[in-house]
Amino acid sequence: MEIAKKTLIVVACLLLIPVTAVTTAAAKQRFADGPNRVFSGGPLESGDLHRGPDPDWLFVSDIPTIELQLLDPPRSRRIWTAEFDGKIYVWSGYMSTAVGRLWKRWPVQAERDGRAVIRIDGTRYERELVRIKSGEILDGITAAISSKYPSKTTRAAVEAGEAWVFEAAPRE
């Protein structure tokens, strides 16, 4: 019994090292200007703020990821993006899994308050995230997603709530 107890303590102590490493890395990223990989970063502060008419979003087809920050809470993350019919879209998968819901809180926060800033190639754009839950447009958006990324996102998956798709519309 004593050996089992000691083994348990040793394992718990050893596990504490990676847990500490992950916690420290996540906390450190919160103070950074933007995200790195998966941990949320702080507000997007550097980079010119885009003014004037919307750009031709087709250029994001060549960009693997963008930085997205919500105004509330003011945290940023790196996400995939796609262009369809002149508009820019972002999305989040794994929304029907427990781990996914725990990992990805921004879609829920964005649905509550869609005001956001995206940063692409050092330029910041003020946007309003508008969730698209259904409709024929999802056929085109998911086709654009699948042609750009190794993703199995389909219209059915979006309509079932497995993936949440948002248009990053211009902010009024």
Partner 1 sequence: MKFFYRCIAVALVVTVLAVAFVPSVSDWVEQVFQQYVGRAAR
Of the residues 42, 43, 100, 140, which one makes contact with partner 1 according to CB under 8 A: 100
Asked if 58 interacts with partner 1 (CB under 8 A), we say no
Asked if 16 interacts with partner 1 (CB under 8 A), we say yes
Smallest gap from Cβ 8 to partner 1, in A, equals 13
**Interface of this chain with partner 1, residues 115 to 134, rule: CB under 8 A:** none
- Exposure pattern of 119-149 as b/e (b: 16+ CB <10 Å)? bbeeebbbbbbeebeeeebbebbbebbeebe
Long-range contacts of 111-117 (CB under 8 A, 24+ apart): 111/164, 112/72, 113/70, 113/71, 113/72, 114/166, 115/70, 115/71, 115/72, 115/171, 116/68, 116/69, 116/70, 116/71, 116/168, 117/43, 117/44, 117/68, 117/69, 117/71
Of the residues 7, 11, 30, 38, which one makes contact with partner 1 according to CB under 8 A: 38
Nearest to 59 by CA among 88, 31, 80, 39: 88
Asked if 55 interacts with partner 1 (CB under 8 A), we say no
Asked if 160 interacts with partner 1 (CB under 8 A), we say no
Asked if 14 interacts with partner 1 (CB under 8 A), we say yes
Asked if 36 interacts with partner 1 (CB under 8 A), we say yes
Pick the closer one to partner 1 by CB: 15 or 58.
15
Bridge-based pairing state of the strands 48-49 and 123-132: parallel
Of the residues 71, 87, 94, 130, which one makes contact with partner 1 according to CB under 8 A: 94
Pick the closer one to partner 1 by CB: 22 or 63.
22
Query: Which residues are near partner 1 by CB under 8 A?
Result: 6, 9-10, 13-14, 16-17, 20-22, 24-25, 28-29, 36-39, 94, 97, 99-100, 103
